[in-house]
Amino acid sequence: MSTDSKDLKVAQLLLNESTGSDNKIDADKVKEVLQELRKLPRSKSLPVLRHYQRLINIHERSYQCIIEKAHSDNNSAFSETLLTNLPQSNPNHTELVTSTNASLIAGFKLKLGDDVYEDSISSRLSRLKKSLT
C-alpha cells in the first residue's frame, strides 16, 4: 500500500472523528485533531493534513448552502425561499451561510454542493458581453 493511500485512510478516519451526531463538522473536534497532528513530525503530518483539509471541505459542501447577495440586508426570508425552492435540497439538513458580494451589483449567487446557481446583473452583463463579441 502506498504512503499516499495510507495518509488518505488516516485523513478519512480523522474526518469521521471530526463529525458530530448530526454528521456535520464539529469545530471543537477539528481543533482536537489538529492538536494531535501537531505532535507528529511535519513530514508525517503534512500529507495527512492536506487530505484532511480536502475531505473537510468536501464534507462541508455536502450540507452547506452558501448564498452570496449583492446587498447586506438581513433578509433571511429570501435565503429560506431560495433554499426551499431547490428541488434537491432538504432545509432540515442544510446549513445556510450568507455573505455579501458587492461585485454582483444586484441579485444572488447560490452554491449547493458542487452546483452553482446565479442570477445577478454582473452575470447577465457578462453573458451579454460574450454574445456581442
> Per-residue pLDDT for 33 more than 80?
yes
Q: 42 with 71, same domain?
A: no
Total domain count for the chain?
A: 2
pLDDT tens, position by position, 55-72? 998 888 777 778 888 776
Last residue of a domain, one of 44, 61, 78: 61
Tell me how far apart the alpha carbons of residues 93 and 49 are, in angstroms, rounded to a whole number.
Answer: 27
Predicted confidence (pLDDT) at residue 83 exceeds the cutoff of 70 = no
Identify the residue whose cell numbers are 454582483. 104
Of 33, 61, 89, the residue that ends a domain is 61
Are residues 52 and 83 both part of a single domain?
no
Query: pLDDT confidence of 133, banded at 50, 70, 90?
Result: confident
Q: Which of 61, 84, 110 is the last residue of a domain?
A: 61
Residue 38 sits in the same domain as residue 93 = no
**% of the chain beyond a pLDDT of 70:** 83
DSSP per position, 104-115: G-SEEEEEETTE
6 pLDDT above the threshold of 80: yes
CB under 8 Å, gap of 24 or more: what pairs does 28-32 form? 30/56
Identity (one letter) of the amino acid at 126? S
Q: Residue length, the chain?
A: 133
- Stretch 12-28: mean pLDDT, rounded? 87
Using a pLDDT cut of 90, give the percent of the chain over it.
Answer: 14
Residues 57 and 100 in one domain: no
Rounded (10°) angle between helices 3-17 and 42-61: 50
Q: Are 99 and 66 in contact (CB under 8 A)?
A: yes
Q: Report residue 16 as a C-alpha cell.
A: 469521521
Indicate if 33 and 56 belong to the same structural domain. Answer: yes
Indicate if 44 and 70 belong to the same structural domain: no
Domain that holds residue 44: 3-61
Indicate if 14 and 71 belong to the same structural domain.
no
Same domain, 30 and 70: no
Burial class (CB in 10 A: 0-12, 13-18, 19+), 41: exposed
| Confidence tier at 74 by pLDDT (50, 70, 90) | low
Same domain as 70, residue 57:
no
pLDDT of residue 31: 92
